[in-house]
Amino acid sequence: MEHAFVSAGDYLIESTGKQRIIEVLLLTCVGVAMYDRISKVGGVCHILLHDSPHDEHTWQPKSYASSCLALFVDELVKSGAEPGRLEAVVAGGALGLPFSQYDVNLDIGGRICECVYRFLQRHDIPVKKSATGGCSGMKIVVRTDNWRVDIIHFTQLENRVQEISKPSPPQIREAIINTKPIPQIAIRLIRLLHAGDYDMHDITDELSHDQVLSAKIISYCNSAFMSQARKIDSITRATLVLGEIRLLEIVISAALRDFFEKQVGGYSLLKGGLFKHSLAVAHLTKIIAGRIEGLDEQTGYTAGLLHDIGKVVLDQFVAASRPLFYNMPHEARIADMITVEREAFATDHQEIARQLAAIWNLPESLGEAASLHHYPEGAVHYPELVHAVYLADLLATWFMAGMELEKINTANLAGRMKRIGLEVTDIPAIVGHAPWKEMMYL
């Protein structure tokens, strides 16, 4: 049966009788499944925030409980559902682990849940099943053949217990050496972009000789997300539509997709999850960089995209050790990912990223961000950039749950945000500006 995932800030409705499984992965976000069993019409919405940051230029109505639910129900009815027969299942709105008092005070998930339950009560839509709050991620699974809806906690996904065999330092080193390098075209473009010294004609000419990459870019430009009236059939035309900088960001991202998409069962709960997470961090870092004086947005984007390169090496070992990441005692569960990795592998993805950045001769700013984003206080040369990546990584984990295994300590969140001139209360606005739906098309 076909599987479909609903991205953050979006919803999906099935009314054609097609049999498939619709899933939504949740942590801070809230998922709402609604369905009319008799009309065989239903779907799931994936809500990011309770209300918008009140910026008309970034209005994304499907992202907010205050606007999404009305649109969702209206479309269900237009698709054939009877309002009086609608039933609902609600899940998500968790704090996550580890969490701090700041997470409790923000209570993003709790506020979304309040809006959702108020809406359902006001419209006399009964809640047949719910699991909201708590500290763990979960997913809603909807079968359209019988409209059965299940809520599955991430801790239920892996219940095997096995002996963990720690890889030796030589095995880790061999994995680093044997890791397929980032595509050369991506390396060249990263260096050109960061040097600010490039000729777009030379770049488009080089891209035209890479038929696979060119096809990916043109396909993205012609996707439903872009909705171009005129079909784009060349890199030159794509440059005119997207602009030089945005084209370069997309080219670098597309070139790195195959690098990240190694397997299912490692850090990611679904194929491509590690790449989608990195793409989200790239967009969020760019948004955060725009709020920090003197920090280049394109550098932020690339740093966010590359921050988890060390996980590509460890991914094969995580696949074998995965039960450890889920079946830990409570005391270990509150530790961040770096602590868990060091316990399991005697190294961590930050240290491996440092080595890879040196091997590939990446710009120093990108290497520092990749090797210190969990502990940004250690940054010496580019502290603002590293703090921005830390925050973006945390937000991507909250709002794109399940894309990858991650545990980020938030005990110093307020201080780290203050270091770059931001407040915890700025988080909803940052999240509201991110192009969540766009990330699913690349």
Domains and CATH numbers, the chain: 2-157 (3.30.1330.200), 169-440 (1.10.3210.10)
Residues composing the chain: 442
pTM score of the predicted model: 0.83
**Any residues with CB less than 8 A from the CB of 122 and at least 6 apart, and which?**
none
Helix (H) / strand (E) containing 14? strand 10-14
Flag whether pLDDT at 163 surpasses 70: no
Dist CA 396 CA 406 (whole Å): 10
Residue 227: pLDDT over 70: no
pLDDT recorded at residue 56: 52
In terms of C-beta density within 10 A (0-12 exposed, 13-18 middle, 19 or more buried), how is residue 215 classed? Answer: exposed
- Measured CA to CA in angstroms, residue 313 lies from 176, 178, 251, 261, 266 at distances of 6, 9, 23, 12, 10
| Cα maximum dimension of the chain | 64
Average pLDDT over residues 77-106: 79
* Residue closest to 242 by CA, chosen among 228, 258, 253: 228
**383 or 157: which carries more pLDDT confidence?**
383
Band (222; pLDDT cuts 50, 70, 90)? confident
Our CA angle for 177, 203, 214, nearest 5°, is 75
- The CA-based angle 71-77-82, given to 5 degrees, is 135
Could you tell me if 373 and 390 are in contact, meaning their C-beta atoms sit under 8 angstroms apart? Answer: yes
- pLDDT tens digits, residue range 108-161? 888 899 999 999 999 999 999 999 987 778 899 999 999 999 999 876 655 444
Q: Could you tell me what percent of the chain has a pLDDT over 90?
A: 39
Q: CB neighbours (10 Å) of residue 234?
A: 15
User: To the nearest 10°, the Cα dihedral for 414, 400, 212, 195?
Assistant: -10
pLDDT for 332:
45
- Supply 90's token pair: 């609600």
CA distance 227 to 249: 19
**Mean confidence (pLDDT) of the chain:** 83
pLDDT top residue among 440 and 227: 440
Pairing of strands 138-143, 30-36: unpaired
**In the chain, % of residues over pLDDT 70:** 83
Res 143: pLDDT: 95
Q: What is the pLDDT of residue 199?
A: 73
> What is the C-alpha separation between 86 and 33, in angstroms, rounded?
10
β-bridge partners, 131? 91
Element (DSSP H or E) covering residue 130: strand 127-132
Check pLDDT > 60 for residue 42: yes
Taking the C-alpha atoms of residue 160 and residue 137, their distance in angstroms, rounded to an integer, is 18
Across the strands, what pairs with 259? none
Contacts of 246 (CB under 8 A, 6+ apart): none
If pLDDT is split at 50, 70 and 90, which confidence band does 24 have?
A: very high
Please give the pLDDT value at position 130.
94
The tokens for 116 are 């959702």
Least confident of 165-169, 265-269, 290-294: 265-269
What integer pLDDT is reported at residue 159 of this predicted model?
A: 47
pLDDT at 94: 83
What is d(CA 348, CA 336) in angstroms, rounded to the nearest whole number?
11
CA–centroid distance for 437 within its chain: 11
Q: Can you state the angle between helices 309-326 and 364-372, rounded to 10 degrees?
A: 10
- Whether the per-residue pLDDT at 239 is higher than 70: the answer is yes
Task: Quote the CA–CA distance of 54 and 180 in Å, as a whole number.
Answer: 44
pLDDT, position 61: 87
Report the distance separating Cα 396 and Cα 278, nearest Å: 8
Question: Are 304 and 285 a contacting pair, CB within 8 Å?
Answer: yes
Locus of tokens 């984003």: 373
Residues 439 and 435: their CA atoms lie apart, in Å, by 7
Kindly indicate the confidence band of residue 411, based on its pLDDT and cuts at 50, 70 and 90.
confident
Q: Are 431 and 49 in contact (CB under 8 A)?
A: yes
Q: Contact 97/333 with Cβ under 8 angstroms? A: yes
Distance CA 291, CA 287 (A): 7
Beta 30-36 vs 2-5: how paired, if at all? unpaired
Report angle CA 92, 142, 265 to the nearest 5 degrees: 75
Where is pLDDT greater, at 210 or 299? 299
Report the C-alpha gap between 222 and 238 in whole angstroms: 10
Q: Which residues contact 94 (CB under 8 A, 6 or more apart)?
A: 26, 27, 28, 109, 132, 133, 134, 135, 136, 137, 138
